[in-house]
A and B are shown apart, each in its own frame.
Chain A
Amino acid sequence: MDLDPVLLARIQFAFTVIFHIIFPSFTIGLSAYIATLGVMWLRSDDERYHRLMRFWTKIFAVSFAMGVVSGIVLSYQFGTNWSRFSVVAGNVVGPLIGYEVLTAFFLEATFLGILLFGFNRVPPWLYVLSAAIVATGTAMSAFWILSANSWMQTPTGHEVRYGVAFPVDWVRIVFNPSFPYRFAHMLNAAYLTTGFVVLAVGARYLLAGKHVEDAKVMMRMGIGLMAILAPLQLFIGDQHGLNTLKHQPIKVAAMEGHWDGSKPADFHIFAWPDEKAERNWFEISIPRGSSLILTHSWDGLVPGLKSVPPDQRPPLLNVFFGFRIMLAVGFYMIAAALFGVYLWWRDRLFDTDWYLRILSVTWWTGFVAVIAGWVVTESGRQPWLVHGILRTADAISPVPATSLLGTLALFVVCYGIVFSVGIYYINRLINKGPEGRALEEPEGFPNRPLTGAEDAARDAIGQRG
């Protein structure tokens, strides 16, 4: 059997990175939500906020652990799978990742300890501050990693000597042209992703008629925020797209399935792009739609895929369909959020069952949009690993295909187990709800002698940890 190491290394990296991004998309938003709940609790002294804060923190702990361990894998896979990448781009990308570790990872990991175990050991303000620090840490982490990724898409501030990128201007490297858009787009995506999970949980409780007061808080906060952020995402995404058109026009051509740059571009609602025949099949299109969106003119021209030879085009199907999936989810989110506002205004938000039912089963939408969006931007960068500097095929490590295949299988099995079990446990935590266990166990407070009542409670619930 003839195994292509580049393809295997790509599949493996795609698998681990897609698995990883699920968790940051959720924990970036969730940490911000937990911090917000904490601040509202401090300000209002309303127990509901505190209860919700504790509830979501438990779910956060499980998700964050999965995010951490899958992230550590990535920081080593740059070397195990793409060792030439660190030689060619290490001088530039390395420090960005280094700053991520120093400014974000330690911050998150350490203050998470206080958030999870410190409730009885620190004053409430420090407890809430720790939540805010964790949220800041996750956002800061996104800042650096998106800066590094954006530099790979739109490299600036460096010069290439002997095939190796040397840093020249750090400000231009960190704030490279696509970075502000990508950062805003991803951060907002993370908040949307979490928002729809919170809404789903709230809707689920309302439908089941349990934890109703808590559910109403979640619904109000969720709808209010989503109604602003979902339309905002459309605007950010549009700006991001225009930026991509400027710097990576072929990626945009692939997103639009646009072949011939001499004609105005239609927007294809559906099509099957055929790389061999260099055309689309089964087109359902809005004539000149893409030209209108991308150039804001009816007759505007954008570069087509045929303007570059086939070996410089990205894999079309990933990019084309990834883009459509992301758009579909985005429009669903806008519709769901705005309709929620309408129901809220009519005072029907908490008893429109069909609407709640839809919300309760669409918790996954944000994750799908995030993954689809990343597939678009990462596949769309191909055949380059670092745009214009290093081709993916040239970055491969000297590792035999059989090793890659073996470890890929290991990753699939291990991640499969961890992921399914993790989702199962999160689901169970959600089922239990904000009240949590029948008897709230005392927070760990090793210096405090256990009271008799607590001992009895512990006996009653057996040996649960």
Chain B
Amino acid sequence: MEWYLPVIWAALIGTAVAMYVILDGFDLGIGVLFPFARNEMQRDQMMRSVAPFWDGNETWLVLGGGGLLVAFPIAYAVIMPAMYLPVIVMLLALVFRGVAFEFRVVAHSKHWWNFAFTFGSVLATFAQGVILGGLIQGIKVQDGHFAGGHFDWATPFAFLCGAALVAGYALLGATWLIMKTEGEVAVRARSQAKILLLVVLVFMAAVSLYTPLAFERIAQRWFSLPNFYFLWPVPLLTAILAFALWRWLDQRRDVLPFVATIGLFFLGYLGLVISSYPYLVPPSLTIWDTAAVPASQIFMLIGTVFLLPIILGYVIFIYWLFRGKVKEGESYH
């Protein structure tokens, strides 16, 4: 019990974060692509394609943060102060792009809220990438407390991760638009997706090469034997999927590019998990070091086991309800 509860929770929070990255990823990506729309009609159409969902999507972020507090309070207490500035910047950026959904509809001049939506989306995404990078490169901890400097996170690698995530979310957003819109928006998204795919692959390669070179523990994980025998399919599958995505974009498929992009994200995510497990706060705190007491983890687990399927049920229901493509000129409310 003591041993596997934290593993279950790590898996649950890992799932919540993955859900967040994919779901809010595509609506943040819409924000990144927003300036490339030709006119307000197209921007309306892009926003309309995510409007019924964004609020629920962002809730996964609360579940990720809340889940960390619930299951790994010590990790939460270390990560939040260590990532203080990027976290606050991300939150404020999310404020602006979140209210932009509603404010844009009632504003006389949409100009400012278009800007807020784009700027907020890009900044929030970048900050999330920085936080991710900051976590991968490790946080200095002493006696279970954060003991590093307040700009320890600000490394070229973290900024690289920030830029990578902007490109990644934009790719998710573009393939979402291919699936959910028609007309010029969808056509443009298809050509954007191709460029973005190349950019994302470059970033993925950069991170995959840099991390084992810079961090001994990550090199150990991937290249020691027998690990290598089990792990080589991860980069291979990534390459195959990227190739398939390119083909599907060429073949004018609507749904498959989005699915393939989710697959790419999943593999990238898996790679990062493999690099860091069992550390929640690399390089010192494991999931067991930071876990809440079993009584708390069990109490929450019981509720989660019942509630998560229900949540997934109505989340699927709402995606089903708002299925189909959004046309150009589709109104918002």
Q: Is A68 an interface residue (CB 8 A)?
A: yes
From 20 to 58 in chain B, residues with beta carbon under 8 angstroms from any chain A beta carbon are 39-41, 44, 47-48, 51-53, 55-56, 58
Expressed in whole angstroms, the Cα–Cα distance for A399 and B321 within the complex equals 46
Most chain-A Cβ atoms within 10 A of its Cβ — which of B74, B103, B325? B103
From 240 to 254 in chain B, residues with beta carbon under 8 angstroms from any chain A beta carbon are none
Expressed in whole angstroms, the Cα–Cα distance for A68 and B54 within the complex equals 11
Chain B interface size range: 35 or more
From 412 to 432 in chain A, residues with beta carbon under 8 angstroms from any chain B beta carbon are 414-415, 418, 421-422, 425, 428-429
Q: Is A228 an interface residue (CB 8 A)?
A: no
Contact B91 A72 (CB under 8 A): yes
Expressed in whole angstroms, the Cα–Cα distance for A273 and B24 within the complex equals 50
Expressed in whole angstroms, the Cα–Cα distance for A234 and B61 within the complex equals 39
Chain A interface size range: 35 or more
Expressed in whole angstroms, the Cα–Cα distance for A415 and B80 within the complex equals 21
Q: Is A453 an interface residue (CB 8 A)?
A: no
Q: Which residues of B contact A70 (CB under 8 A)?
A: 95
Contact A465 B105 (CB under 8 A): yes
Q: Which residues of A contact B147 (CB under 8 A)?
A: 398
B65–chain A nearest beta-carbon distance, Å: 5
Q: Which residues of A contact B88 (CB under 8 A)?
A: 80, 407, 410
Q: Which residues of B contact A80 (CB under 8 A)?
A: 80-81, 84, 87-88
Contact A447 B81 (CB under 8 A): no
Contact B104 A465 (CB under 8 A): yes
Contact B77 A84 (CB under 8 A): yes
From 89 to 131 in chain A, residues with beta carbon under 8 angstroms from any chain B beta carbon are 90-95, 97-103, 105-107, 109-114, 116-118, 121-122
Q: Is A4 an interface residue (CB 8 A)?
A: no
Q: Which residues of A contact B70 (CB under 8 A)?
A: 90, 94-95, 97-98
Q: Is A393 an interface residue (CB 8 A)?
A: no
Q: Which residues of A contact B292 (CB under 8 A)?
A: 90-91, 94
| A72-B61 contact, Cβ under 8 Å, with A167-B296, A447-B324 | yes
| A105-B62 contact, Cβ under 8 Å, with A78-B69, A113-B56, A117-B52 | yes
Out of B79, B295, B311, which one reaches A106, CB within 8 Å?
A: B311
Contact B65 A110 (CB under 8 A): no
Contact A102 B307 (CB under 8 A): yes
A142–chain B nearest beta-carbon distance, Å: 16
Q: Which residues of B contact A465 (CB under 8 A)?
A: 40, 44, 47, 104-105, 110, 331-333
Expressed in whole angstroms, the Cα–Cα distance for A86 and B80 within the complex equals 11
SS of B interface (majority): helix
Q: Is A11 an interface residue (CB 8 A)?
A: no
Contact B52 A69 (CB under 8 A): no
Q: Which residues of B contact A167 (CB under 8 A)?
A: 293, 295-296, 299
Instruction: Mark contacts of B311-333 with chain A using CB atoms, 8 A cut-off: 1 yes-contact digit, 0 otherwise.
Output: 10011001001101111011111
Contact B103 A101 (CB under 8 A): no
Instruction: Mark contacts of B90-108 with chain A using CB atoms, 8 A cut-off: 1 yes-contact digit, 0 otherwise.
Output: 0110111011011111110
Expressed in whole angstroms, the Cα–Cα distance for A316 and B105 within the complex equals 45
Out of B52, B61, B95, which one reaches A118, CB within 8 Å?
A: B52
Of the listed stretches A57-65, A235-243, A277-285, A384-392, chain B binds A57-65
| A411-B92 contact, Cβ under 8 Å, with A79-B81, A91-B296, A92-B296 | yes
Expressed in whole angstroms, the Cα–Cα distance for A95 and B333 within the complex equals 36
| A166-B307 contact, Cβ under 8 Å, with A83-B78, A98-B70, A425-B106 | no
Expressed in whole angstroms, the Cα–Cα distance for A258 and B69 within the complex equals 39
Q: Is A397 an interface residue (CB 8 A)?
A: yes
Contact B329 A450 (CB under 8 A): yes
Most chain-A Cβ atoms within 10 A of its Cβ — which of B40, B73, B84, B326? B73
Q: Which residues of B contact A100 (CB under 8 A)?
A: 66
Of the listed stretches A37-45, A295-303, A355-363, A438-446, chain B binds A438-446
Q: Is B207 an interface residue (CB 8 A)?
A: no
Q: Is B67 an interface residue (CB 8 A)?
A: yes
Contact A407 B73 (CB under 8 A): no
Q: Is B169 an interface residue (CB 8 A)?
A: no
Q: Is A87 an interface residue (CB 8 A)?
A: yes
| A421-B330 contact, Cβ under 8 Å, with A68-B58, A397-B80 | no
Out of B40, B79, B80, B322, which one reaches A113, CB within 8 Å?
A: B322
Contact A414 B96 (CB under 8 A): yes
Contact A76 B65 (CB under 8 A): yes
Out of A103, A444, A463, which one reaches B40, CB within 8 Å?
A: A463
Q: Is A75 an interface residue (CB 8 A)?
A: yes
Contact A102 B103 (CB under 8 A): no
A198–chain B nearest beta-carbon distance, Å: 19
B315–chain A nearest beta-carbon distance, Å: 6
Expressed in whole angstroms, the Cα–Cα distance for A374 and B59 within the complex equals 25
| A399-B104 contact, Cβ under 8 Å, with A102-B303, A113-B318 | no
Contact A110 B95 (CB under 8 A): no
Closest to B90 in A: A76
Q: Is A230 an interface residue (CB 8 A)?
A: no
Expressed in whole angstroms, the Cα–Cα distance for A403 and B76 within the complex equals 19
17 further interface pairs, Cβ-Cβ under 8 Å (given A95-B300, A444-B332)? A80-B88, A87-B77, A98-B304, A103-B307, A110-B56, A110-B315, A113-B52, A113-B53, A113-B56, A167-B296, A397-B80, A397-B84, A399-B84, A415-B95, A422-B99, A422-B103, A465-B44
18 chain-A/chain-B pairs, Cβ below 8 angstroms: A66-B99, A69-B99, A72-B62, A78-B76, A83-B81, A90-B70, A90-B77, A94-B300, A102-B303, A105-B63, A122-B321, A397-B80, A410-B92, A414-B92, A446-B327, A447-B324, A458-B331, A465-B104
Instruction: Report B's interface with A, CB cutoff 8 A.
Output: 39-41, 44, 47-48, 51-53, 55-56, 58-59, 61-63, 65-67, 69-71, 73-74, 76-81, 84-85, 87-88, 91-92, 94-96, 98-99, 101-107, 110, 144-147, 150, 292-293, 295-296, 299-300, 303-304, 307-308, 311, 314-315, 318, 321-322, 324-327, 329-333
